[in-house]
Amino acid sequence: MKVAILPGDGIGPEIIDEAVKVLKALNLPLEMATAPVGGAAYAASGHPLPDATLALAREADAVLFGAVGDWKYDTLPRHLRPEQAILGLRKHLGLFANLRPAICYPQLTHASSLKPELVAGLDILIVRELTGDIYFGQPRGRRTAPDGAFAGAEEAFDTMRYSRPEIERIARVAFEAARRRHGGRGGKVTSVDKANVLETFQFWKDVVTEVHRDYPDVELEHMYVDNAAMQLVKAPKKFDVIVTGNMFGDILSDEAAMLTGSIGMLPSASLNERGQGLYEPSHGSAPDIAGQGIANPLATILSAAMMLRYSLQRPDAAARIEAAVQRVLADGLRTPDIHSDGTRRVGTAEMGDAVVRALS
């Protein structure tokens, strides 16, 4: 089993180190190879996603990704900025299905902005389509407005697009995930759209409704994106699986992650049709705390667990990591982002070491 390790920028290298430490401690037949990505790759070789890095990712069974982005690179032209690496990997590897759990860990309920009774026990899954929508739709650019009330003025434009097969395959991922979360049958999928305004999302709603015929045991509900943004704040536990497009998913998955209060704990998986996947923490590169040894490595360690489950067919090893993380939390170890009175403050490496110890 080949794993490409892409540490990236900011706290990326530190948190990846801990995840690699945990993977090594499992003594699995893993072949790990590291390559630069993001700002670090740009600094080294002039491009955020060098050909060699992309080639390594392509031939791997899975990619373990840290984080990219740093203020240093904010003034670069867009096609050279660190985020292009992640967009490029998604597109080139066809990683259309982004799975983002929003879980509120019992020990961390107090860290949420929301009242404890609203988030205690929260466990929802956001399935975000990741290779279509306005993120990649052509045409796009700047031009002189060809028509409309401001014809003749300078304008910029993008194209939102979804085709039937793109919607069908992500809908299936969501319905299957709902079943899996409920022992093989049942569960609920909330499909989030803006069918009252957008042609793309009226079509989305129609196709999701059609695909649902193959999953009669799963409940399907449709919700407008503005309402979904509200219901996540009001009653997040009413959701089970949320499925939506790339743009709405970007916003809602971050909103949901933040309201758990445990964003430093949340992994994510981005999968293609062949089961290849890219695994990364839900949080960003946090350049403000990089190099201080205080970043929380648990989201990355849990991303490695997702990798073992979804791309490497080792659910046993995944479960061992997850149990170990539960154990260190129960033991009261906390990085500064989740620290509270009565718990023990530890650094990045100490947390990784503790997870390794808890594996056995």
Ligand X SMILES: CC(C)[C@H](C(=O)O)[C@@H](O)C(=O)O
- Say whether residue 196 binds ligand X (CB under 6 A): yes
Residue from 2, 123, 137, 182 that binds a copy of itself (CB under 8 A)?
137
Residue from 257, 286, 298, 318 that binds a copy of itself (CB under 8 A)?
257
User: Of the listed pieces 10-18, 246-254, 316-324, 350-358, which binds a copy of itself according to CB under 8 A?
Assistant: 246-254
Rg (CA), the chain: 20
Residue 295, marked binder: yes
Establish whether 250 is a catalytic residue. yes
**Pairwise CA distance, residues 187 & 181, whole Å:** 7
Q: Catalytic: which of 42, 73, 135, 310?
A: 135
Which strands form 2-8's sheet, in the order they lie side by side? 31-34, 2-8, 62-67, 277-281, 267-271, 97-103, 123-129, 241-244, 188-193, 219-224
Tokens 């503790």 correspond to what residue? 354
Residue from 27, 29, 142, 341 that binds a copy of itself (CB under 8 A)?
142
* Residue 238 binds which entry of a copy of itself, ligand X, none, CB below 5-8 Å type-dependent: none
Kind and range of the H or E element at 166?
A: helix 164-181
Residue from 32, 76, 80, 87 that binds a copy of itself (CB under 8 A)?
87
Alpha-carbon dihedral sign for residues 313, 317, 319, 325: negative
Torsions phi, psi for 95 (to 5 deg): -80, 75
**Pairwise CA distance, residues 330 & 316, whole Å:** 21
User: Which tokens belong to 186?
Assistant: 């049942």
Residue 39, marked binder: no
Residue from 158, 206, 250, 255 that binds ligand X (CB under 6 A)?
250
* Residue 322 binds which entry of a copy of itself, ligand X, none, CB below 5-8 Å type-dependent: none
For residue 148, give every residue at least 6 positions away whose Cβ sits within 8 Å of its Cβ, in sequence order, or none.
Answer: none
Contact 84, 327 (CB under 8 A): no
Output the known binding site for substrate. Answer: 90, 100, 128, 226
The residues that touch a copy of itself, with contacts defined as CB under 8 A, are: 78, 81, 83, 87, 113-115, 118, 134-138, 140-142, 145, 147-148, 150, 153-166, 194, 196-204, 225-227, 229-230, 232-234, 247-248, 250-255, 257-259, 263
Output the known binding site for Mg(2+). Answer: 226, 250, 254
Active-site amino acid positions: 135, 194, 226, 250, 254
Output the known binding site. Answer: 90, 100, 128, 226, 250, 254, 284-296
